[in-house]
Amino acid sequence: MGGISGDRATTECVHICCLKNIEKAGGGFGQALSFYFMDDHQFRQLLQHLGLSWPGYRKVRRGVKKRIHRHMQHLGSKNMSAYLRELGKSDDARHECERLMTVSISRFFRDRKLWEVLEKEILLRLIEKQGDRIEAWSAGCGCGEEVYSLKMVWDRVMTSIHHSPELEITATDMNPIYLERAKTGVYGYSSLKEVSGRFLSTYFRTKAGDKLFAVKDLQKKGITWQIHNLLLDPPGSHFHLIFLRNNLLTYYQEELEKPAFRKVIDCLSAGGFLIIGSHEKVPFESDDLRATGSLSYVFQKYA
């Protein structure tokens, strides 16, 4: 278990010297911390501590680093070693860190082909098999774009069939701030680039001089918003449709994602569908889960 490499030792020395010089000059502790620079090695230390994946965070690390830096300032942690010690001592500090590590990058109807397949194939098959009620879980729902996209597609499907089964959606995320935004249902145009003019006029009302768009109240019915950590037990069982896109299989290390993914499969009903991110892969082969249709990231469960 050798010592720190020369480059890493030099980096640590620079950090320490900067802090001491600022303190000698009369700068406060917060001012000293504002000069702290978190390099990728230190960020990877944090990821390892939390069981998170470097490949998943590599492209989004800049914004995440800024949030973590502010949290370090709040806790008075001068460097990553001190921060990790604080996370080990305080459940509240760890929970806040985990919240700050969440990433919400989405928009309505992200991956257009998926939503076409949902409308023309998957939802119709579920309605034919399940009858009067369909239960869906949007796992890691972020600010709600995926959830409301599903509601709009569902409404469109309802216009083409003779009976109208209920759609109940459980929408979960571990970040309560994201959930509050989702409940409010107000979005800027950048989130709506894939939404047609007809959908905008049907499902949204404008706010703030047409710069913001609010989801109409009718589309908010049948949705249960819930704080939930994907590593824990699912928020229900016997879901007919599960969205697990760009979260568990992107941001977690294999030793954490495998048991969590097994729990997701177990709460999917026989004949139900699981949708992961278009660039994601399942962490292991499962006899009761098979790719279906033209999309390699849509799976159906067989009893």
User: pLDDT (tens digit, 9 = 90+) per residue, 115-170?
Assistant: 999 999 999 999 998 878 999 999 999 999 999 999 999 999 999 888 789 999 99
**C-alpha span between 94 and 76 (Å, rounded):** 14
Q: Residue 179 burial by CB count (10 A; 0-12/13-18/19+): exposed, middle or buried?
A: buried
* 8 A C-beta contact, residue 133 and residue 237: no
**C-alpha span between 254 and 274 (Å, rounded):** 19
pLDDT tops 50 at residue 26: no
- DSSP-derived secondary structure letter, 195: S
Strands 186-188 and 289-291: unpaired
Backbone dihedral angles phi then psi of residue 238, each to the nearest 5 degrees: 60, 40
Q: What is the pLDDT of residue 36?
A: 61
Report the chain's mean pLDDT, rounded to a whole number. 89
Q: What is the mean pLDDT of residues 253-268?
A: 97
pLDDT tops 90 at residue 18: no
**C-alpha span between 120 and 137 (Å, rounded):** 20
Which tokens is 74 given? 């709040």
pLDDT tops 50 at residue 86: yes
- For residue 259, the SS3 value is helix
Give the CATH fold of the 112-301 domain: Rossmann fold (3.40.50)
> How many H-runs (helices) and E-runs (strands) does the chain carry?
14, 10
Instruction: Name the strands in the sheet holding 239-244, side by side, starting at the edge strand that comes first in the sequence.
Output: 223-227, 166-173, 133-139, 239-244, 268-276, 298-301, 289-291
Which residue spans of the chain are classified as CATH 3.40.50.150? Answer: 112-301
**C-alpha span between 52 and 155 (Å, rounded):** 37
pLDDT tops 80 at residue 224: yes
**C-alpha span between 228 and 301 (Å, rounded):** 23
